[in-house]
Amino acid sequence: MTTLTRITSRIPVMLAAIALVVAMGGEWTTSASAAPTVLAKSTSPPSSPSPGDDPDPARGRPVKKAPSGRINLNTATEEQLMMLPTVGPAKAERIVSWRKKNGGFKRVADLRRVKGFGYKTFKRLEPLLDIKGDTTLAQK
């Protein structure tokens, strides 16, 4: 096949790609990132969320309130641990299991040894963590 034949056989593909770019106006979105289109306005008033639930508009689920106080990693129950941001039942169970297996946390940074607690998560939680004293963590 000659070079001219190769080039001419690719022209329709290139034209289709150019037509696609022009048709989209230069904006590239996927169906997952595209905002839903509202076809008609609702005449009913918006429903108010239940107390304590601030829905996250991006995900459509409740957002935890920011906690205040500190939590003692050596005495906290699984329920208390789940009040921490990003900590659910599985992570809370891992903390308690690690604590039982290793005889407790010697320092707050030992939390990094628990699966699921990397540097970023630890740094986010560090102001709320302690290894001595009472657990005073409460939802705002």
In the predicted structure, residue 107 carries a pLDDT above the cut 50: yes
pLDDT of residue 34: 54
Q: Could you tell me if residue 108 is inside a domain?
A: yes
> Mean per-residue pLDDT for 122-138?
90
Better-scored residue on pLDDT, 28 or 13: 13
For residue 69, give the nearest of 114, 3, 135 by alpha carbon.
135
- Residue range(s) defining the domain that contains residue 118: 67-139
Q: Please indicate, yes or no, if residue 46 is contained in any of the structural domains.
A: no
- Could you tell me if residue 122 is inside a domain? yes
Which of 91 and 66 is assigned the larger pLDDT? Answer: 91
* Better-predicted residue by pLDDT, 60 or 18: 18
Closest CA to 117 of 87, 140, 138: 87
Instruction: Note whether 73 and 131 are within 8 A (CB).
Output: yes
What CATH number does residue 102 fall under?
1.10.150.320
Rounded distance between C-alpha atoms, residue 62 and residue 54, angstroms? 5
- Where does the pLDDT of residue 50 fall: very low under 50, low under 70, confident under 90, or very high at 90 and above? very low
Structure confidence at residue 61 (pLDDT): 59
**Domain total of the chain:** 1
- Residue 56, pLDDT above cutoff 80: no
| Residue 84 domain-assigned (yes or no) | yes
Q: What is the mean pLDDT of residues 104-133?
A: 94
Tokens of 1: 């096949």
Examine residue 116 and state whether it is found in any structural domain, yes or no. yes
Single-letter amino acid, residue 133 = G
The larger pLDDT score, comparing residue 132 to residue 28, is at 132
Q: Residue 93 has what pLDDT?
A: 96
